[in-house]
Amino acid sequence: MKIIVAGTGFVGITHAAVCSEYGHEVYAYDIDSEKIAAYESKQRDRINHYVNEAGLAEIIAENMGRSLFFVNNLAPVIEGTEAIFLCLPTPPKPNGSSDLSFYFKALEDLSTLLANRKDQRRVLLINKSTVPVGTARQLERFLQDRGVTNFGIASNPEFLPEGDAVEKSRRPDRIVVGADTEEDFGICRRVYSQFVNHVRIQYLETTPETAESIKYVSNTLLLTYISFWNGVGARIGETFPNVRMEDMKRGVTSDGRISTWGSYVSNGAGGSCFGKDIRSLIYQLKSRSQSADLLESVYRINEYQKSYLVDRGESEAGFSFNQKTVALLGLSFKKKTNDMRDSSSLKVVESLLAKGVREIRAYDPMAISEARRYFDTNLNHLFERISYHDSVVEALKGCECVFVSTDWEEFRGLSHTIETHVRPGSLILDGRRMIPDFQHLVKAGYHYLAVGSPHIAPGE
Ligand SMILES: NC(=O)c1ccc[n+]([C@@H]2O[C@H](COP(=O)([O-])OP(=O)(O)OC[C@H]3O[C@@H](n4cnc5c(N)ncnc54)[C@H](O)[C@@H]3O)[C@@H](O)[C@H]2O)c1
């Protein structure tokens, strides 16, 4: 099938690359010409600069020019196209609602091309962006009003987790397709032919509105589960002595009805989707006079969690951050990605700077160049206090506090490295419970404060 993928960010480039593996003829389109040039270069570093996902650069290199093509202009490729995937940004507005201006701007341009095409075979616009419930219907009217004929609309939400995007695109848990006609379901079945009737993959056909809702319910449910552990589990562990979080997890999740995924305590969940989607759903419900109390609490708990360890450092460990040097280990919102959207580290940096730290010595195996963009010294001169380092050991030099913010495997069990490079009496803030042998550090004279446990003073 001849397919266009509009928007080549995390979702679009992964989908385009994997679709090209199925043997479709895929045209990946973006208005960002530098991004398109990076993909076309086939150079891993340049591709990773935009989307750093294992296996992605290899698929692009393998299929480019055969089944995968990059374009800055859709006019030459529109004829004969059967499916157009919309993988466009839908960022939050300040009031939490979804900003659909990028989305409809792209569709304005597309509608002109579609209205004027010579080949009048049916074309299906398949939405992968996360959009408010009812957007597919709105899109249908939008295209009709612009004279586009013989088209269909489908909602096909994307569930890929960053860090495992290629793997999960190749072997998704489910494919959800919301459409109105058998003909449009048929086009999607041809796109995803290897997943239809698959024994392990749920291939679900439903209405566009149900498909749009499934995405919001899924993401807000995942965040609710994470926030339950943070808002309840962590609070219990921090309040009562001798509560072991790792044992609590085992004890609770041995009940088959309770998920092991998400049953951990942490300094909050970041990423481009959870916070944005829950705020959008809150807005969608409240603007229709519905209650969103549960969702509002979940959002608040997650945001609070991101930097509360810094406050606990002051209130529980009696540590003053003023003029101190802090090593910040981890900047991306989770391991295996360079994505810093809504990352807890953003809140940690904001909080540390507000408390007057002298220097933040940051290290992350993937996200340093992203961090330089986020902490642009032209936007805030306080960001000059951040220095970037090539290794954990470099970041630890001269620090009086260590904050572990991301769950990178290389941060697991850092006690020996800390003991070698950080002077005793320093404060270790463990936002991911990455240091299981913390007792060793405490014995060696360090303060240890982890999410889900009370402060442990040296020698305790
Ligand atoms: N990132 C994720 O993990 C994830 C997962 C599931 C769903 N989603 C949803 O998918 C959508 C896309 O997310 P993303 O993370 O890929 O976003 P992104 O910002 O990484 O990528 C969007 C791309 O669209 C391009 N673009 C903007 N306007 C355009 C236009 N007029 N024409 C063509 N291209 C245009 C941008 O240049 C960018 O490359 C969002 O709605 C998001 O909520 C994201």
Which ligand 1 atom sits closest to the C-alpha of 102? 28
Q: What is the pTM of this model?
A: 0.94
Can you spell out the DSSP letters for 85-130? EE----PBPTTS-B--HHHHHHHHHHHHHHHT-S--S-EEEEE-S-
Has residue 459 got a pLDDT over 90? no
Q: Is 401 a catalytic residue?
A: no
Report the SS3 class of residue 206. strand
- Smallest CA-to-CA distance from 159 within 201, 122, 109, 106 is with 201
Do residues 6 and 86 lie in contact, with contact meaning Cβ atoms separated by under 8 Å?
Answer: yes
Residues 166-195 pLDDT 10s: 999 999 999 999 999 999 999 999 999 999
pLDDT, residue 460, reads 82
Q: Whose CA is nearest to atom 41 of ligand 1?
A: 129
- Asked: is 232-450 a CATH 3.30.70.1060 domain? The reply is no
Q: Which residues contact 335 (CB under 8 A, 6 or more apart)?
A: 163, 406, 407, 408, 409
Q: What percent of the chain has pLDDT over 70?
A: 100
Question: What is the H or E stretch that residue 362 is in?
Answer: strand 359-363
Confidence label for 407 from pLDDT (cuts 50, 70 and 90)? very high
* Arithmetic mean of pLDDT, 296-315: 97
Residues 419-440 pLDDT 10s: 999 999 999 999 999 999 999 9
* Arithmetic mean of pLDDT, 52-75: 96
Give me the chain's average pLDDT, please.
96
Tokens standing for residue 391: 């290794």
Rounded Cα gap, residues 110 and 78, in angstroms: 9
Tokens standing for residue 367: 């996200």
- CB of 32 shorter than 6 A to ligand 1: yes
- CB of 273 shorter than 6 A to ligand 1: yes
- CB of 265 shorter than 6 A to ligand 1: no
Rounded Cα gap, residues 216 and 325, in angstroms: 41
Rounded Cα gap, residues 267 and 121, in angstroms: 51
Residues 204-253 pLDDT 10s: 999 999 999 999 999 999 999 999 999 999 999 999 999 999 999 999 99
Residue 30 Cα, ligand 1 centroid: separation in angstroms?
10
Alpha-carbon distances of 361 from 42, 89, 331, 358, 451, rounded to whole Å:
33, 32, 11, 10, 21
- CB of 28 shorter than 6 A to ligand 1: no
pLDDT, residue 73, reads 95
- CB of 169 shorter than 6 A to ligand 1: no
For Cα atoms 356, 386, 354, give the angle at the middle one, nearest 5 degrees.
25
Rounded Cα gap, residues 402 and 8, in angstroms: 37
Residue 325 Cα, ligand 1 centroid: separation in angstroms?
37
Residue 40 Cα, ligand 1 centroid: separation in angstroms?
19
- CB of 72 shorter than 6 A to ligand 1: no
Choose, from 87, 273, 399, 401, the residue flagged as catalytic: 273
* Arithmetic mean of pLDDT, 298-308: 97
Q: Whose CA is nearest to atom 33 of ligand 1?
A: 30
Q: Whose CA is nearest to atom 15 of ligand 1?
A: 10
Residue 413 Cα, ligand 1 centroid: separation in angstroms?
36
Pick from 4, 88, 340 the residue to mutate for probing ligand 1's pocket: most ligand atoms within 8 Å of its CB.
Answer: 88
Lowest mean pLDDT among 118-122, 216-220, 382-386: 118-122
Residues 122-180 pLDDT 10s: 999 999 999 999 999 999 999 999 999 999 999 999 999 988 999 999 999 999 999 99
| Domain at 2-206, CATH class | alpha beta
| Residue where the block lists tokens 């269909």 | 152
Has residue 413 got a pLDDT over 90? no
- CB of 158 shorter than 6 A to ligand 1: yes
- CB of 6 shorter than 6 A to ligand 1: yes
**Domain ranges, ordered by start, for the chain:** 2-206, 232-450
Residue 257 Cα, ligand 1 centroid: separation in angstroms?
34
Confidence label for 345 from pLDDT (cuts 50, 70 and 90)? very high
Tokens standing for residue 327: 């090593």
Residues 16-25 pLDDT 10s: 999 999 989 9
Do residues 11 and 271 lie in contact, with contact meaning Cβ atoms separated by under 8 Å?
Answer: no
Do residues 48 and 42 lie in contact, with contact meaning Cβ atoms separated by under 8 Å?
Answer: no
Q: Whose CA is nearest to atom 35 of ligand 1?
A: 7
Residue 6 Cα, ligand 1 centroid: separation in angstroms?
9
Pick from 29, 30, 160, 175 the residue to mutate for probing ligand 1's pocket: most ligand atoms within 8 Å of its CB.
Answer: 30
- Smallest CA-to-CA distance from 213 within 287, 293, 130 is with 130
Residue 36 Cα, ligand 1 centroid: separation in angstroms?
14
Residue 91 backbone phi and psi in degrees, to 5: -70, 170
Has residue 447 got a pLDDT over 90? yes
Which ligand 1 atom sits closest to the C-alpha of 273? 43
